[in-house]
């Protein structure tokens, strides 16, 4: 009996093991088959996009070997990164085929259409980058399903609609950029749920309503950019409590209310831009620790704090404060603050005012009488020798005629730094340490009625204007011995000189060139649209654009500028620099703002090419221009540019050719030009080597709408 029982047990054990092994093997085969099917599904989905050439896909190589594909150990796709590959078309990726996808980076591919709702199925996705495309429609609600998302970048597309409230579900999000779209509505309160958010960029959209107070709950926030929207209300105090906040830009909105005093104690801040809003009240103290502050173009009032940053001194109006007419302080551009009122002497003041007025009138009468007597008694030779000393004038009252003579050693040639259209330019260091530039008419020029008219015209124009990109005018002298104008000294000289000096031109990288173009446009926009009457420069050229030590642009030389009179024909002689003058002046002799627009277009092309474009433009025929690509036009001396600058180059090139249209009415206004330069809402251009000059010259629909309505 024992052997039979033992044999039975052995047989049963063997049979059980065999069944278990077969079952395990079947499960393993099924899993392998399922994995193989999943991998094949991924491969087919990638092939369907058409994003890879047949050279890669046709040799039966595994898709994990294709460009821009990363896989895990099992062969599943975990990353797709195809940036600036000009893929085009719609975003036809079957998202459900990639359950293991962690990173999707498709920046700068000119994709069209909308983001499919199915993107919400990518539950493991941590990085989603679809910026710099032509995507439209609304951001899908399903994006809130991507709970593992750390970085979301959808900037520079054409998205409309509102920011979905489901974005508040992305609690792991660290970086969010939706800038340069057409998103409207308000910023959702749910954004305060993003406790891990460090960078928030919503600039250049159509957002309205107040800044949500819930942003104060984003404790990790270091960068906040909400500029160029339509936000209103006050700046929430909660934002100031963000300990790690390094930069905040809410410029170009409609924000109102006062700036919180607590902001001056936010020790982590290094960049603060509240410019172009409707803020009121005074400037909080303790701003000196912030590296960059811009409060310009608000309605601030009161005294400028003595610790308002390192850029505030007693001789200059801080550009970061211009446009606040009710501020006062100890600088040349602001009136001094009145002394504090003492109510205890109010009655004495009331008594003294009439007495002071009487004494003042009496002194004035005596002064006029004395001047009349002196004029009658002085010999003619003495008057001719001294000239009319009462005509020496300046802004701050501290630049005396004698100081100028001593500083230039009576206009010694060693202080001469150049010659202008109607005089020589000198560098002078005044006793207070301030360096100025003097444009002096020589004696023969001063006696020439044409030069005298230009001199007086420049004084007339420059006393009416003040702008950050227009050379600052400190004063003038109409002495019979000599006539001169006093300007701010601009260190680097003219744009023409910089572009024609190799060492200087190399330093003038593409970002600086774009900023120079924006600065010139800003100045012309101010002259054409914010000055009454309108001021037309009539001689915009690279010689009349000066660059300071930071390579910022300043429009200069207003000797030929004209104040447009709406009640006259505005006929004029042809003036300006050859190669920059608008063609219509030759047969109409009528000056308009569009003359400056044409000259601006020439300067822009000169900045892009590194030389005057006249010879190039004259050589272009319609057929030849089809063969010349934009990248061939560009100056080769600056360092290479990235995709962001390539977008700017494409934009300013389009603007330049629009400004150079033959018919004045078809040119854009400077208001339109300046708005386009700031908006950055245009889609990314094609690669510059694929854009022909013929295409740029024939963009007849670009920047026309506003130009024809405002011509």
Does any domain span residue 637? yes
Question: What is the mean predicted confidence (pLDDT) over 546-567?
Answer: 78
The domain boundary, picked from 439, 465, 489, lies at: 489
554 within 8 A of 548, measured Cβ to Cβ: yes
* More confident site: 352 or 88: 88
Q: Is the pLDDT of residue 363 over 70?
A: no
Among 491-495, 581-585, 595-599, 626-630, the range with the most confident prediction by mean pLDDT is: 595-599
Half-sphere exposure of residue 218, counting CA atoms within 13 Å on the CB side?
29
What is the rounded CA–CA span in Å between residue 680 and residue 658? 17
The number of distinct structural domains making up the chain is 2
| pLDDT score, position 601 | 96
Could you tell me if 477 and 534 lie in one domain? no
Could you tell me if 451 and 537 lie in one domain? no
Would you call 642 exposed, middle or buried from its count of C-beta atoms within 10 A (0-12, 13-18, 19+)? exposed
pTM of the entire predicted model: 0.51
Does any domain span residue 603? yes
Does any domain span residue 147? no
Measured from the Cβ of residue 152, the count of other Cβ atoms closer than 10 Å reads 24
Q: Which tokens belong to 608? A: 């892009």
- Residue 183: pLDDT band (50, 70, 90) is very high
The domain boundary, picked from 489, 505, 526, lies at: 489
Contacts of 399 (CB under 8 A, 6+ apart): 430, 436, 474, 475, 486
* More confident site: 203 or 709: 203
Active site (catalytic) residues: 539
- Residue 502: pLDDT band (50, 70, 90) is confident
| pLDDT score, position 50 | 87
Among 86-90, 178-182, 333-337, the range with the most confident prediction by mean pLDDT is: 178-182
Give which of 93, 118, 104 is closest to 42, Cα–Cα. Answer: 93
Does any domain span residue 633? yes
* More confident site: 356 or 177: 177
* Strand, helix or coil for residue 601: helix
Q: Is the pLDDT of residue 499 over 90?
A: yes
| pLDDT score, position 634 | 93
The domain boundary, picked from 456, 471, 489, lies at: 489
Could you tell me if 632 and 503 lie in one domain? yes
Does any domain span residue 554? yes
92 within 8 A of 116, measured Cβ to Cβ: no
* Strand, helix or coil for residue 543: helix
Could you tell me if 497 and 637 lie in one domain? yes
Query: Over pLDDT 90: what percentage of the chain?
Result: 31
Does any domain span residue 437? yes
- Residue 567: pLDDT band (50, 70, 90) is very low
173 within 8 A of 197, measured Cβ to Cβ: yes
| pLDDT score, position 313 | 42
156 within 8 A of 181, measured Cβ to Cβ: yes
Residue 465 lies in domain = 399-489
Question: What is the separation of C-alpha 477 from the centre of its chain, rounded to a whole number of angstroms?
Answer: 37
Average pLDDT taken over every residue of the chain: 79
Q: Which of 334-348, 379-393, 487-501 has the lowest mean pLDDT?
A: 379-393
Q: Which tokens belong to 569? A: 């024909």
Question: What is the mean predicted confidence (pLDDT) over 387-410?
Answer: 59
Q: Which of 179-183, 388-392, 532-536 has the lowest mean pLDDT?
A: 388-392
454-479 confidence digits (pLDDT tens): 677 677 777 778 888 998 887 777 66
Could you tell me if 589 and 669 lie in one domain? yes
65-90 confidence digits (pLDDT tens): 888 899 998 999 999 998 888 888 89
Does any domain span residue 27? no
Contacts of 514 (CB under 8 A, 6+ apart): 645, 648, 649, 652
Could you tell me if 572 and 673 lie in one domain? yes
Q: Which tokens belong to 142? A: 């399903």
Q: Which of 81-90, 386-395, 523-532 has the lowest mean pLDDT?
A: 386-395
Question: What is the mean predicted confidence (pLDDT) over 328-345?
Answer: 55
| pLDDT score, position 452 | 63
Query: Rounded to 5 degrees, what angle do the CA atoms 429, 434, 437 make?
Result: 60
Does any domain span residue 648? yes
Strands 473-478 and 483-488: antiparallel
Q: Which tokens belong to 155? A: 């900037």
| pLDDT score, position 394 | 45
What is the rounded CA–CA span in Å between residue 577 and residue 499? 17
Sequence-ordered alpha helix ranges (H) in 168-243: 237-240
161-174 confidence digits (pLDDT tens): 999 999 999 999 99
Could you tell me if 582 and 696 lie in one domain? yes
Phi-psi region of 421 (alpha: psi -120 to 50; beta: other; left: phi over 0): alpha
């Amino acid at each position: 009996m024992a052997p039979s029982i033992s044999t039975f047990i052995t047989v049963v054990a063997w049979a059980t093991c065999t069944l278990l092994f077969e079952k395990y093997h079947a499960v393993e085969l099924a899993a392998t088959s399922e994995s193989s099917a999943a991998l094949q599904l991924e491969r087919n989905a990638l092939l369907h996009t058409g994003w890879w050439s047949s050279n890669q896909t046709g040799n039966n190589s595994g898709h994990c070997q294709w460009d821009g594909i990363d896989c895990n150990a099992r062969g599943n796709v975990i990353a797709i990164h195809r940036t600036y590959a000009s893929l085009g078309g719609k975003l036809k990726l079957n998202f459900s085929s990639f359950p293991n996808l962690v990173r999707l980076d498709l920046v700068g591919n000119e994709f069209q259409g909308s983001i499919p709702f199915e993107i919400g199925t990518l539950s493991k996705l941590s990085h989603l980058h679809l910026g710099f495309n032509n995507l439209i429609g609304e951001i899908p609600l399903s994006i809130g399903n991507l709970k593992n998302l750390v970085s979301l970048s959808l900037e520079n597309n054409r998205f409309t609609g509102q920011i979905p409230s489901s974005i508040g579900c992305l609690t792991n999000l660290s970086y969010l950029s939706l800038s340069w779209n057409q998103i409207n509505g308000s910023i959702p309160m749910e954004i305060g749920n993003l406790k891990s958010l460090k960078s928030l960029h919503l600039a250049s959209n159509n957002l309205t309503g107040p800044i949500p107070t819930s942003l104060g709950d984003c404790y990790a926030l270091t960068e906040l950019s909400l500029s160029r929207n339509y936000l209103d209300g006050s700046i929430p105090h909660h934002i100031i409590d963000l300990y790690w906040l390094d930069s905040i830009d809410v410029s170009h909105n409609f924000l109102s209310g006062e700036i919180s005093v607590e902001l001056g104690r936010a020790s982590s801040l290094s960049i603060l831009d509240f410019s172009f809003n409707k803020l009121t009240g005074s400037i909080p103290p303790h701003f000196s620790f912030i590296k960059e502050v811009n409060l310009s173009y608000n309605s601030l009032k009161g005294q400028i704090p003595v610790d308002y940053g390192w850029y505030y001194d007693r001789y200059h109006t801080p550009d970061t404060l211009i446009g606040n007419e009710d501020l006062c302080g100890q600088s040349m551009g602001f009136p001094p603050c009145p002394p504090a009122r003492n109510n205890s002497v109010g009655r004495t003041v009331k008594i003294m005012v009439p007495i002071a007025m009487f004494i003042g009138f009496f002194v004035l009468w005596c002064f006029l009488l004395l001047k009349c007597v002196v004029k009658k008694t002085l010999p003619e030779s003495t008057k001719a020798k001294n000239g009319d000393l009462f005509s020496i004038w300046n802004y701050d009252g501290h630049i005396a005629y004698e100081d100028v003579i001593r500083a230039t050693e009576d206009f010694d040639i060693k202080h001469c730094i150049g010659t202008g259209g109607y005089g020589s330019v000198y560098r002078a260091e005044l006793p207070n340490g301030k360096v100025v530039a003097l444009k002096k008419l020589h004696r023969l020029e001063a006696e020439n009625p044409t030069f005298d008219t230009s001199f007086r015209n420049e004084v007339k124009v420059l006393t009416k204007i003040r702008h950050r990109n227009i050379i600052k005018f400190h004063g003038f002298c109409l002495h019979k011995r000599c006539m001169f104008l006093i300007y701010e000294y601009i260190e680097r000289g003219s744009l023409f000189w910089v572009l024609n000096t190799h060492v200087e031109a190399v330093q003038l990288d593409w970002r600086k060139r774009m900023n120079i173009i924006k600065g010139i446009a800003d100045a012309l926009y101010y002259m054409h649209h914010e000055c009454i009457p309108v001021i037309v420069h009539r001689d915009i050229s690279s010689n009349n654009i000066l660059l300071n030590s930071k390579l910022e642009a300043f429009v200069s030389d207003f000797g030929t500028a004209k104040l447009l009179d709406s009640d006259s024909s505005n006929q004029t002689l042809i003036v300006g620099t050859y190669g920059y003058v608008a063609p219509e002046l030759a047969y109409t002799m009528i000056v308009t703002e569009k003359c400056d627009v044409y000259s601006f277009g020439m300067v822009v092309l000169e900045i892009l090419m590194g030389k005057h474009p006249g010879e190039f433009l004259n050589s272009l025929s319609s057929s030849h221009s089809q063969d010349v690509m934009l990248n061939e036009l560009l100056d080769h001396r600056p360092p290479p540019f990235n995709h962001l600058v390539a977008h700017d180059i494409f934009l300013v090139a389009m603007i330049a050719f629009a400004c150079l249209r033959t018919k004045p009415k078809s040119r854009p206004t400077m208001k339109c030009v300046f708005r386009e330069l700031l908006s950055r809402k245009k889609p990314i251009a094609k690669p510059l080597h694929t854009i022909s000059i013929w295409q740029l010259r024939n963009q007849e629909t670009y920047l026309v709408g506003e130009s024809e309505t405002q011509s």
